[in-house]
Structure 1
């Protein structure tokens, strides 16, 4: 056995223990240390695992949690980067934490969320058995560039893994293109035209034009953003059809969705253990992965109703008869879908609620926060009277306050507070019984407030 290989594992494991003793996550730095000592460590460790990779702009963590529950239902032990550390260093840490100093583990499946911009680089170190791609939207332009750059990066990575089964969003013209002429086995998922057709008139800024001939797309139905039944009338590129399909939505409430699904020709009714339209897509992605892996329909359906959401992804925290919902926001499309969820849940005349927008511009959030002006915050005008206080905080809290002002918020309701503890205490005090306090943070703000919430309400660590 190679000395440097063993040394890398020992050093990384020691780093994990030390960093967690001082309440630092220890999810990325140990992997960096290991790669510096032995650059080939991830390739060697991953070779004994069946890897399931999840990438794309939105929904990676929730889709991972759905698939994790399916693995449990099928009695399959696995490792996963639950912390969301989805770059090369974080994935390396995940493997090192799971193996002994000889590099062996008692499980042989790895469920790995992978950053879409880093996917091409990560794939050089491992080969997925299944690759799930959720969607492509504009996100952190200063880091990712335009959405086509991200698409091409993922495409390059997929071409390196001809043996990987692909699970692709058929409603996303960009994502669906990855399966065109790929030679890989492909399982598509999406909505049927009759299941959902949004009446909201929103601009399609991400993929309005055909990827192949640049003509504008027509749509048989639009779910949200550029997702839906797309067709190019000029060259014929169109929605490829789907193996896993949402054929009807029976109920959307504050806690779950009840839907009809077609699983490769079998119709089933099921409950998805999270609310909102965008989480139905995440559930469909998980189902399609289950089909690709040969899981039974019963285990797939059971998993949908029992999986636990990831930290900060529609995470619900109870305080007596009140609730806190922590919902990550990171790009215009995702933010708009969160606002739609809040609108849907507060259309009762008697409801009122508090909301906090925690906006940072650290490297992991994206330095450019101009995307806030692409969010249709004005739609909250329908329920302005139900908002008790709109808190703004974070390094760019004042920018968010300006955005709210231009969305015609009553400035008397906008409150800039830097102290997260104070926001939580004040908001819970004024939230009515059976009411909800919504916290909408960007990524690093989510980690900060999640740490406070963990201590206050004795929650799990974010890496658990």
Structure 2
């Protein structure tokens, strides 16, 4: 699209807004982009794009993967535009482009890396036209916003440009089917020693062939619909990944990735399988971008997961693990519960899952609680589950339906009371699972728990159990 007077007025007004926000000490806001799109609805279509644009989308993991990719590129000396400090919707992308452009909109940097909300694809992808686009996975998400997996799949298929080169999850039959005529590369994880080939998840969105509707035959199913499958009727099968994890070393936190030119070991910030997928997808994207895999491995040795997503500390012989669970997202929350179950030792779990943002604007939908695998918390080594927040009664009922004995449960309305309700006498690991909008709350409770843990007697076997991190 050609730039017109309306575009330039919107651009100058947005730049003025950004300057005012900077003067009053407000940063990382999407307000300049919001004003630009209000004043010029097709602003993104008229805004000049950087020479090369990398996009990262998908239901779960896109923030973590975006941060990993950006950190590696920064270590390699690339100067790029990104929306790390803003939002992943159209207004956040517009704000990032505005902040990194001249007075008349010319990009100051030749490379851009954008985390992109999959639901916002119609307002972003036709204009931004990414050269390289990673899709981490496609799962059900918020019922009110993302409906069902086919809904998101149709949006992405409709709005991903034909020219965009794709990096896709081979272990997700929905994700791997995106834009079949586009150039693509796949990543995946082989069935690893000790894995159960048939999980016990409540939700499995892909039970029949997406192409002909016949029942699928599974080589293995890792969780939900993530795994390797084929259709005996039409021949549809999980693609062969070009980037394939063949081994995972929990102790040294390394994964072996088999590529077309042989194996390569990569360091991992965390060996939880969800984060192995995140790290693998970042590796695949960076290699497809053109970085040597040896250089990627060297850079990843210095990386960590953003603390708002995952954080672990040791206090007086006990571990405190903070794990983002994403309220109203049954898949992400289920995997957080599975992570708590798989952790060795005696554990207590705190749940802060209320969507405060949604509750402030409408009525929070609680149906997602019944798609979430809270049954994973019904384990002999999980001694206590504490639920807190405005919806604590709803969560309590769901936990009872998951078979968790009432004597193990504690629930309350005020989250700040939860730290005092945890019984530290028997546990050596505390898990805190919290919603995206409860990050600041989790930090407050983390401080309270650390004080209690420091003052409490150390568990008899705490040091031994703590050695089995991850």
The answer to whether TM tops 0.5 is yes
Shift, 1:47, TM fit: 1.2
Change (3 A) 1:443 1:370: same
Shift, 1:237, TM fit: 0.7
Distance 1:299 1:13 in 2: 36
Q: Could you say which residue in structure 1 is the equivalent of 2:18? A: 13
Note the 1:206-245 alignment, pairs <5 A.
206-245=205-244
Q: Could you say which residue in structure 1 is the equivalent of 2:399? A: 404
Q: Does 1:368 align with 2:365?
A: yes
Distance 1:414 1:332 in 2: 21
* CA displacement, residues 301-323 of structure 1 (integer Å, 9 cap, x when unaligned): 23433323234322335667653
SS of residue in 1 equivalent to 2:128: coil
> Equivalent of 2:115, from 113, 116, 125?
113
2:44 touches 2:124 (CA, 8 Å); kept in 1? no
Change (3 A) 1:244 1:15: farther
Change (3 A) 1:43 1:49: farther
Q: Does 1:391 align with 2:386?
A: yes
Shift, 1:433, TM fit: 11
SS of residue in 2 equivalent to 1:306: coil
1:15 touches 1:26 (CA, 8 Å); kept in 2? no
Change (3 A) 1:367 1:188: same
Shift, 1:163, TM fit: 2.2
* CA displacement, residues 72-113 of structure 1 (integer Å, 9 cap, x when unaligned): 232112232224621111222222333454435543322211
Larger mean Cα displacement after TM superposition, 353-362 or 73-82: 353-362
Note the 1:274-289 alignment, pairs <5 A.
274-289=270-285
SS of residue in 2 equivalent to 1:17: helix
Note the 1:414-433 alignment, pairs <5 A.
414-424=409-419, 426=420, 431=424
SS of residue in 1 equivalent to 2:114: strand
* Uncovered stretches (5+) of structure 2, i.e. residues with no partner: 450-470
Shift, 1:61, TM fit: 0.8
Q: Could you say which residue in structure 2 is the equivalent of 1:156? A: 158
Q: Does 1:190 align with 2:185?
A: no
Larger mean Cα displacement after TM superposition, 333-342 or 317-326: 317-326
1:66 touches 1:303 (CA, 8 Å); kept in 2? no
Change (3 A) 1:456 1:384: closer
Whichever of the two has the greater Rg, that structure is 2
Q: Could you say which residue in structure 1 is the equivalent of 2:456? A: none
Larger mean Cα displacement after TM superposition, 216-225 or 190-199: 190-199
TM-score when normalising by structure 2: 0.83
Q: Could you say which residue in structure 2 is the equivalent of 1:175? A: 175
Q: Which has the higher contact order (CA 8 A, sep 6+)?
A: 1
* Uncovered stretches (5+) of structure 1, i.e. residues with no partner: 458-464
Shift, 1:153, TM fit: 0.2
Larger mean Cα displacement after TM superposition, 256-265 or 56-65: 256-265
1:84 touches 1:113 (CA, 8 Å); kept in 2? no
SS of residue in 1 equivalent to 2:326: coil
TM-score when normalising by structure 1: 0.84
Note the 1:2-41 alignment, pairs <5 A.
3-14=8-19, 16-17=21-22, 21=26, 27-41=29-43
Shift, 1:371, TM fit: 1.5
Q: Does 1:290 align with 2:291?
A: no
Distance 1:97 1:310 in 2: 23
* CA displacement, residues 268-299 of structure 1 (integer Å, 9 cap, x when unaligned): 22321123111111111111101211111112
> Equivalent of 1:135, from 128, 134, 137?
137
Distance 1:208 1:6 in 2: 48
1:272 touches 1:304 (CA, 8 Å); kept in 2? yes
1:192 touches 1:246 (CA, 8 Å); kept in 2? yes
Instruction: Give the aligned CA root-mean-square deviation in angstroms.
Output: 3.1
* CA displacement, residues 376-424 of structure 1 (integer Å, 9 cap, x when unaligned): 212222235533xx33223322211111122233434433344444435
Q: Could you say which residue in structure 2 is the equivalent of 1:462? A: none
> Equivalent of 1:61, from 56, 60, 63?
63
Change (3 A) 1:328 1:105: farther
SS of residue in 2 equivalent to 1:359: coil
> Equivalent of 1:258, from 254, 260, 272?
254
Change (3 A) 1:318 1:5: farther
Q: Could you say which residue in structure 2 is the equivalent of 1:460? A: none
Change (3 A) 1:412 1:150: same
2:216 touches 2:232 (CA, 8 Å); kept in 1? yes
Q: Could you say which residue in structure 1 is the equivalent of 2:458? A: none
2:170 touches 2:240 (CA, 8 Å); kept in 1? yes
Change (3 A) 1:114 1:105: same
